[in-house]
Chains A and B, each alone.
Chain A
Amino acid sequence: MPVKIGVPRALLYYNYFPLWNGFFRELGCDVVISGKTSKAILDKGVKMSVDEACLPVKLFFGHVVDLREKADYIFMPRMVSVERKSYICPKFLGLPDMVRYNIPDLPNIIDVTVNMSRNEKNLIKSFTEVGRLFTGNYLGIRKAFQKGLQEQERFERLNQLGFLPHESIEQMEKGLISQNYSPSHPGKLTIAVVGHGYNIYDAYISMNLINKLRDMSARVVTPDMLTNDIIQDRSDELPKKLFWSMGKQMIGSAFHYMRSQSIDGIIHVASFGCGPDSFTQELIERYLRRSRNMPFLNLTIDEHTGEAGVITRLEAFIDMIQWRRAAQ
């Protein structure tokens, strides 16, 4: 029986799942993903974590609990850094420790450190370390790593075409190898939703934000549809380099969409109590107000956010944009 590797459908799942999935499958492992976020999953996570933790971390706990009985290993790399001189967030640095000391009866945890802040070649070292848990065949590990990278590349290309990451993952599971045209989502307006993948693509956590916007006949674009070059370029406008990769993505995409004539409004989604968001949101809002009068809505979500309130605010936001248009 192949070894079952559990991957929590939370946090960086939305950024790197294809890489991990490609790697483990090529190695001959089965990959089990935790269920879609539900109240039960969230509640379990909330119960096991400290009050002060941000919602995404609490939710991650819930997904880990969900995998407890389903997998032989749970994969939760310590994601220190995914590019030179940048970090993700202090909480990612301590994540495996927080999980280990708060959730009882866990299967084995694979908490290899991924730290590319000094050297981007460190990635292969991390994967080799993981691979060696299952095989002594270095060539096989290398091949699996290459496979992972390929999948990741395909994934990113699909995202850039306009698929949302979770849609790309679904498409890839269905066997879509590549495509060279964008998925069509007709709409009268285009709204940029700027926020961490684990907030905006998790339908439960985001209260189905993206689908609601689509229902209101808005096209949705997100930071993941932009290339790294654009993100880098736009975020370089800050006087000092931002040292959070995701923060940079938020700033870069907001700055980009802010100037784009085809965007009608920006919705920024932040988690309650998120450290990096508190800064990036502030910068985005200030730059936006100075440069252009673009409609901007800030949604802060926590476990108590009510769906009704969000809908009301979204509707008001979309109405406002439409009035503005009519008045022009």
Chain B
Amino acid sequence: MKVTFPHMGYMYICLKALFNYLDIEVVVPPMPSKRTLSLGTQHSPEFACLPLKINMGNFMEAYEKGADTIVMAGGVGPCRFGYYAQVQREILKDIGINMKMVVLEPPQKHISELLIKVRELTGSKSWFDVVRAIRFAFNKACAVDEVDRIVHKIRPREIETGAVDLVLAEAIKWIDEAQNKKQLDEVLKQAKNELASIEVDYSRRPIRIGIVGEIYVILEPFVNLNVEKHLGRMGVEVERSIYLSEWINDHLFMGLLKMKGNKSARELAPPYVNHFVGGHGQETIGSTVKYGKEKYDGVIQLMPFGCMPEIVAESILPTVSREIGIPTFSLILDEHSGDAGVITRLEAFVDLLARKKEINDETKDAEGAFICADI
């Protein structure tokens, strides 16, 4: 058995760790590329959401590299994600790619349901090993998130452009290669040290932008055109509404661990969105409210084209923007979003925030004008 899985940002690091720990052979799909996208798009329904299409491309490329089993998360609705695997299975069947599909449905009642499914994959491993493997994989997610958070702070302040990204790439590699918890702790410490030694200008007061929206496009740099990096280099400090470890906790661990998670964001969504709408629609609104209250300079919503929960959020965002007084910008991503156009629009939005910040800084007490750019 050679197991593969879809990409979602640094998720591969966790899954690789999980399976390696359990002595299951893994084929990590090649990093998403233009080719992945075009393979995926070619075989997926035209109006399927973008993540499904890229997943398809991942599977096909992993198959080329010898994978024969797909491990994929499931879901119980209301959004499409819970049915991805079903549609993908039928497509693969019709194009003659015979891969076994193992769907990890999120546990309904108890986390043990998840353990049982993971153990089915391994066969002989003990429960103890399964639990340890899951914990180790989760530790990696937390490590990646920790590094990401620091990077968000340093990028807009680095003296030499690109310095932080060099360290980031190294750090990710180390985390990926760590074989056990002890090594992981060591490399994390080392990564933090290296990050701390990057030359920065702390006198800068960067613009602060909160990133909200659909989880996959937030976490996958290939589809969001590396928006965090671009923003960072434009001198923006970004914070995002959700991190990998939080998603894993919420989606697969039933929110068992006491983490920030999306509950707190959801609580801020009313009166704008008064009900769960699937995906992260409510969190998008709730987090926007939160960033507004925390006096961020702006919010960027990332959404795949046709994403249902985000459409609900998008149509309410202008009201939130107006009432909370925070500029927002909705970036809709599909297979045709090109780098150049997106960067120009991002720059325009950042410029706008910069000017507003200047005015605000000059007239401290005056209420700044709000804007809701929907480009």
Task: In the complex, identify which listed stretch (A83-91, A163-171, A256-264) lies at the interface while the others stay far away.
Answer: A83-91
Q: Determine if B77 and A93 form an interchain contact, defined as CB atoms under 8 angstroms apart.
A: no
Known: A50-B311, A90-B79. Contact between A282 and B277, CB under 8 A?
A: no
* Smallest Cβ-Cβ distance to B76: which chain A residue: A243
Contact B315 A278 (CB under 8 A): no
The contact of B90 among A49, A50, A282, by CB within 8 Å, is A282
Complex: how many Å from CA A97 to CA B271?
8
Query: Do A275 and B45 have beta carbons less than 8 Å apart?
Result: no
Within A286-328, the residues touching B (CB, 8 Å) are 286-287, 289-290
21 A-B residue pairings within 8 Å (CB atoms): A52-B305, A89-B308, A90-B78, A90-B277, A90-B278, A91-B277, A93-B276, A94-B277, A94-B281, A94-B312, A102-B319, A240-B83, A240-B86, A244-B77, A270-B47, A275-B47, A278-B306, A279-B45, A279-B83, A282-B91, A283-B86
Q: In the bound complex, do residue A97 and residue B273 qualify as a contact, i.e. CB atoms below 8 Å apart?
A: yes
Give the contacts of B248-284 with A (CB-CB under 8 A). Answer: 272-279, 281
Which single member of A93, A101, A242 contacts B83 (CB below 8 Å)?
A242
Residue of A nearest to B90 (CB): A286
Asked if B78 and A93 make an inter-chain contact with CB atoms under 8 angstroms apart, the answer reads yes
Q: Select one of A87, A94, A278, A290 contacting B77, CB under 8 A.
A: A87
CB-contact partner of B279 in A90, A277, A287, A290, under 8 A: A90
- Closest CB of chain A to B5's CB: distance in Å? 18
Chain B residues positioned under 8 Å from A274 (CB to CB): 47
- How would residues 24 to 66 of chain B score, 1 for a CB under 8 Å from any chain A CB and 0 otherwise? 0000000000000000000001111100000000000000000
B310-335 interface bits toward A, Cβ cutoff 8 Å, 1 = contact, 0 = none: 01111110110000000000001000
Residue interface mask A135-176, B partner, CB < 8 A = 1: 000000000000000000000000000000000000000000
Q: How far is the CB of B275 from chain A (nearest CB, A)?
A: 5
The answer to whether A25 has its CB under 8 Å from any CB of chain B is no
What is the number of residues of chain A that contact chain B, defined by CB distance less than 8 Å?
Answer: 43
Please name all residues of chain A whose beta carbon is closer than 8 Å to the beta carbon of B274 when the two chains form the complex.
Answer: 78, 96-97
User: How distant is B146 from chain A, measured CB to nearest CB, in Å?
Assistant: 32
When distances are taken between beta carbons in the complex, the residues of chain B under 8 Å from A86 are 77
Q: Tell me which residues across on chain A come within 8 A of B313, comparing CB atoms.
A: 94
A177 within 8 A of B: no
Bound-state CA distance A86–B308 (Å) is 16
Q: Does B206 contact A (CB under 8 A)?
A: no
Cβ A275 vs Cβ B87 within 8 A: no
With a cutoff of 8 Å between Cβ atoms, the chain B residues found around residue A243 in the complex are 76-78, 82-83
User: Which residues of chain A come closer than 8 Å to B305, judged between CB atoms?
Assistant: 52
Q: B80 at the A/B interface (Cβ < 8 Å)?
A: yes
B82–A275 contact, CB under 8 A? Answer: no
| Interface flag for B292 (CB, 8 Å) | no
Is A187 interfacial (CB 8 A cutoff)? no
Cβ-defined contact, A94 with B45, below 8 A: no
Contact B80 A282 (CB under 8 A): no
User: Please, how many angstroms separate the alpha-carbon atoms of A244 and B85 in the complex?
Assistant: 16
Which of B74, B273, B374 neighbours the largest number of chain A CB atoms within 10 Å of its CB?
B273
Q: Name the CB-closest residue of B to A98.
A: B315
- CB of A107 closer than 8 Å to a CB of B: no
User: Taking A275-B308, A278-B46, A279-B80 as contacts, is the C-beta distance between A97 and B87 under 8 angstroms?
Assistant: no
**Of B46, B74, B85, B275, which contacts A94 at CB under 8 A?**
B275
Residue A2, interface by CB 8 Å: no
Contact indicator B80/A97 (Cβ below 8 Å): no
The reply to whether B90 and A53 contact each other, CB–CB distance below 8 Å, is: no
Q: For A238, list chain B residues within 8 Å (CB).
A: 86
Q: Is B362 in the interface zone, CB < 8 Å from A?
A: no
Q: List 12 additional contacts besides A80-B275, A243-B76, A282-B91; criterion CB under 8 Å.
A: A90-B281, A90-B309, A94-B309, A97-B316, A101-B318, A239-B86, A240-B86, A240-B103, A243-B82, A275-B47, A278-B46, A283-B87
**Is the beta-carbon distance between A90 and B312 smaller than 8 angstroms?**
yes
* Chain B proximity of A56: nearest CB distance (Å): 12
List B100-116 residues whose CB lies under 8 Å from chain A: 103
B367 at the A interface (CB under 8 A): no
Q: How far is the CB of A95 from chain B (nearest CB, A)?
A: 8
Instruction: Encode contact with B along A68-93: 1 for CB under 8 Å, 0 otherwise.
Output: 00000000001010000111111101
Contact A97 B78 (CB under 8 A): no
Interface assignment of A281: CB less than 8 Å from any CB of chain B: yes
Chain A residues within an 8 Å CB radius of B365: none
* Of A50, A94, A276, the contact of B80 (CB 8 Å cutoff): A276
With both beta carbons as reference points, the residue of chain A lying nearest to B82 in the complex is identified as: A243
The distance from the CB of B21 to the nearest CB of chain A, in whole angstroms, is 29
Shortest Cβ gap from A223 to chain B (Å): 19
The 10 lowest CB-CB distance pairs between A and B, nearest first, are: A243-B77, A94-B312, A87-B78, A278-B47, A90-B278, A90-B308, A94-B277, A101-B319, A282-B45, A93-B277
A35 cross-chain contacts in B, Cβ below 8 A: none
Q: Which residues of B contact A277 (CB under 8 A)?
A: 47
The CA of A283 and the CA of B49, in the complex, are separated in Å by 15
Whether A275 and B306, one on each chain, are in contact in the complex, defined by CB atoms closer than 8 angstroms, is yes
Residues of A within 8 A of B79 (CB): 90, 275
Minimum Cβ distance to chain A for residue B249 (Å): 22
Residues from chain B with a CB closer than 8 A to the CB of A289 are: 94
Contacts of A97 in B (CB 8 A): 272-275, 312, 316
